[in-house]
Structure 1
């Protein structure tokens, strides 16, 4: 699992997906979240504006497999 450093104390889920390379664009991030393919700390979350804190683990279930990144 990759650890992705952020400069502030929090980051929104949609922004983090792009920063971590788990989504190629904001539109793709929105689609992944809306389709229920994104989980935070093991629980599916459909809120693009969900605030993430350091230590949170984001996982995407994509057709190519499961990818995860930790907020650092």
Structure 2
């Protein structure tokens, strides 16, 4: 499973941005579409809110791939 660290000072990242930055979709438009179609889950539950605030500890899954969100390091 991949991990994605939040940026220092950020408490969350919006769901569609995760799919985009992790290259799980070709871009933000496709990310928003697959979310609205019910193809993405957060912590095992289907999520259709494109701008859902995903926090450290959450696991996002799409198309056989999963990514766990982790807190920013204090370095």
| TM-score, length-scaled by structure 2 | 0.84
- Structure 1 unaligned segments of length 5 or more: list them: none
- Once the two structures are superposed, residues 36-60 of structure 1 have per-residue CA deviations (whole angstroms, 9 ceiling, x without a partner) of 1000000000000100001100000
- Identify the match of residue 24 of structure 1 among 9, 18, 26: 26
Equivalences, count: 68
Q: Which has the larger radius of gyration?
A: 2
CA distance in 1, matches of 2:24, 2:67: 8
1:30-69 correspondence to structure 2 within 5 Å? 30-61=32-63, 66-69=64-67
Task: Identify the structure with the greater strand proportion.
Answer: 1
- 2:4 paired with 1:4: yes
Segments ≥4 residues shifted beyond 4 Å: none
- Structure 2 unaligned segments of length 5 or more: list them: 71-75
